[in-house]
Structure formats: C-alpha cells, structure tokens
Structure 1
C-alpha cells in the first residue's frame, strides 16, 4: 500500500452530495492532501496513469460499472489504496469489487461519522470496510454462518509451501498493515523488489488484494488478527 497518510486523492463520484460528503471527510482526515474529482468513467480514464495514494470510487456511474476501471488501476498501481464507496451492499458486487482489486468498501448509507471512522483505519494500515461489509467478508472467508461459533482453522500448509521464505515474510508484514515502502525498510530491500514479491504472492495464492491476502495469511498461521 501507499503511505498510510495519503497525499494525493482521487474521488470518482457522480452525485454532487456524495462528492461533497467524501471531500469533507478526506479533507478532515488527510489535510493538506490534494484531491481530484471525476464524475464518470470517461473523465476517470486519464486518471488511470496518475499515481494516487487513495482512490475512492463509486460502483455505479452514469457510463457504467467501475469494476473494470478498478481492475486496471490496481494493475498499474499495486501500492495504492482503492476503496469502493457505494449505496449497494449485495454480495455479488462486494466480492466482485474485492476480486477486481479493491482494498475497502464503504456504504454511503452509513452515518458520516461512521464513514469517517471507517476510512481513518487506513492510516493504521487496516482495510476500511463498513461494518456490514466487514461481517460479510469475515463470514465468507471463514466459510460459516454468522451466528455459529468460530472454529479453530486448520493451517493451510499447502498454500504456505507455495511461497518462498522471503515471500512468507512479505505476506506476514503486509497482513500486519505495513505498506510496500515500510516492508522494504523492514527487510532492507527496494520498494520495487517488494512490489514484485507482492505480485508473485498474489499470483501464487490466487488473491487480488490485501484483504484476501490477509485472510490467506491467517489461514496459513502467519498472523492472528483475532
């Protein structure tokens, strides 16, 4: 991920009131960060090539769903925070967004104070997800009904064996919330090397973003985030 205090922010949002709300929240959280705005996919297209630290992206825009844009931006900028901001909480869109490369998922129906608190988590390296969405993700990855006791998971040794010792180190650190730059400092290597290792980890494990990678790290016994 990019610096945990974003300096450059892009908001892709077609509704003026939604743009004003998100703009106010990011200004309060991340000032003096600069922010750009695109009201649709056509105007977001040139932004694909700009290295933002944080992108807040609506899902349903006047000229289509933004899933393809999210996937393309993730490939070009693997270290950015990509957060969906939408009215829709159905499972298909939630997990399609995560597969496309989103790190977080905010519901615009949440109170502004909750939205601000949720988004502030990225400063600590935590994926920002509205509580309703976080519960969906946890239930999905644990493979159980919401009201059943959580079993102690078996260690995924097969997944662990796919990774080199250095890749296991990198996965452990990013699952703990460190950005690629911070991992590079911790392991005394270059950020570019770490980015390549993250891409390799994602490919080997079949994951698309930090949330899925963290879930895999938990299953492998590399981290325990409760």
Structure 2
C-alpha cells in the first residue's frame, strides 16, 4: 500500500515537532511538508498535493476554517483533519461546513490521532468522542446556533448585506440586488466592519464564512 502523505498545518513549533516525530515512526505515513500560517497551508497543499492535511483552527493570517475551504476548492480529494483545542459548536460545525472530514482534539491519544489520519486518508469521516456527541446531538435535532444569529450585534439588514459580501458581491451589485442607494450600502458596510471589529472586506468575508454565511 502506498504511504499516506500528510501535510502538518500548525503555528506551534513544539506541536508540529511532536506530530512529525509521531508520523515519522509509523509505517505507511509520510510527512509531505509543514505550514505555519493559513495561507501557507493553502499554498503548500496546492504544491504538494498531500493525501491528508492536519489543520489547526487558530492560524496566523487566514483561519484554519478558511484555509480548509480554499484547499478543498482546488484539491477536493484531499482529506482535511482538524486537530485543535477547540470543541465548541461553532468551531465544530464551521469546520464541517468548510469540508473537513475529521475533527480530533489535541489532547487525544496518539493512537486515536493515527487512526483518524488513516480514516480520513480512506475518505471516511471521523470525530473524537466529545465532538461526535455534538454531531449526534445536532442530527437528533439539538441544533447549534443558526448562522443568521451568529452576529446578534448586527441588524437584519446588516446580516443580509454581510451574507452578500461573503458571496463575493461588490457594492454596486449589492446596491442593485437590494434596491438601496450606494451611500446607504456604504453606511451599512461601515457599520458592519465596526461591529465585527474587522479592518477590511476580506476580514469580514472570513468572519462571515466561518459563521456559515455566503
């Protein structure tokens, strides 16, 4: 059987070193490369074409969620396994919406991490027990907070405009879609940026897509 090629995307050198040592000692698994930022993960995945990407969520630059989405846009056959400290509903379901095939916590046993890598490499979906309980609860009807309520500080109109921004629409396109004046759209967007504490449109798009908008 061909060795599974794994890309490690994590900004913590000690954790990367631990994963590299773990994978290097296991037959059938090969470290194809490493990335320390979200954008680097996207670029290295495109260049190296790994079978599995181990993705941290909190990455410098673009988040692990957005990096996952961009990786899978260009390499849909890659399996992204989220390896993170976060097990809250928002993180879990944002990762699933982005296309991650697995989700394990950083405190998982080494064998559990290895099993997850192999499962994702086979195209299976796998979650650590704590995360699996959240997923089961979701499908049982106990849904997490709806994406439209992800930003309670925004008005209904502002959420609508943020959703259109996340879809990639320009200001003139939003103006035409909502039958608003250009000035009104600009004012709404300024208000959105201030409330979300983002500096520009790209940061707003990342926040919106992480919450399931767009």
Query: TM (normalized to structure 2)?
Result: 0.58
Does residue 3 of structure 2 align to residue 9 of structure 1? no
Which residue in the other structure is 2:18 paired with? 21
Q: Please list every run of at least 4 consecutive aligned residues from structure 1 whose deviation after the TM superposition is greater than 4 angstroms.
A: none
Aligned-partner Cα distance in 1 for 2:52–2:3: 6
Task: String of CA shifts for 1:78-132, please: whole Å, max 9, x gaps.
Answer: 1111111111000001000100111101100223333233333335543232111
Query: TM (normalized to structure 1)?
Result: 0.55
Q: Which residue among 91, 96, 106 is the counterpart of 2:94? A: 96
Aligned-partner Cα distance in 2 for 1:13–1:112: 17
Q: 1:144 to 1:61 in 2, by over 3 A?
A: closer
Which residue in the other structure is 1:47 paired with? 44
Q: Which residue among 58, 72, 80 is the counterpart of 1:74? A: 72
Does residue 118 of structure 2 align to residue 114 of structure 1? no
Q: 1:92 to 1:112 in 2, by over 3 A?
A: same
CA-CA distance at 1:48 after TM superposition: 4.3
Which residue in the other structure is 2:134 paired with? 136
| Equivalent position SS for 1:20 | helix
Aligned-partner Cα distance in 1 for 2:138–2:27: 32
Aligned-partner Cα distance in 2 for 1:144–1:66: 26
Higher RCO structure (Cα 8 Å, ≥6 apart): 1
Q: Quick check: 1:48–1:72 contact (8 Å CA) kept in 2?
A: no
Q: Quick check: 1:5–1:123 contact (8 Å CA) kept in 2?
A: no
Structure (1 or 2) with the larger CA radius of gyration: 2
Q: Which residue among 84, 87, 90 is the counterpart of 2:85? A: 87
Aligned-partner Cα distance in 2 for 1:85–1:119: 10
Aligned-partner Cα distance in 1 for 2:115–2:60: 28
Which residue in the other structure is 2:57 paired with? 59
CA-CA distance at 1:34 after TM superposition: 4.2
Q: Quick check: 2:4–2:121 contact (8 Å CA) kept in 1?
A: no
Q: Quick check: 1:5–1:30 contact (8 Å CA) kept in 2?
A: no
Aligned-partner Cα distance in 2 for 1:114–1:131: 10
Gaps of 5+ in 2: 144-214
Q: Quick check: 1:6–1:53 contact (8 Å CA) kept in 2?
A: no
After the TM superposition, which of the residue ranges 6-15 and 68-77 deviates more from structure 2?
A: 6-15
Which residue in the other structure is 2:157 paired with? none
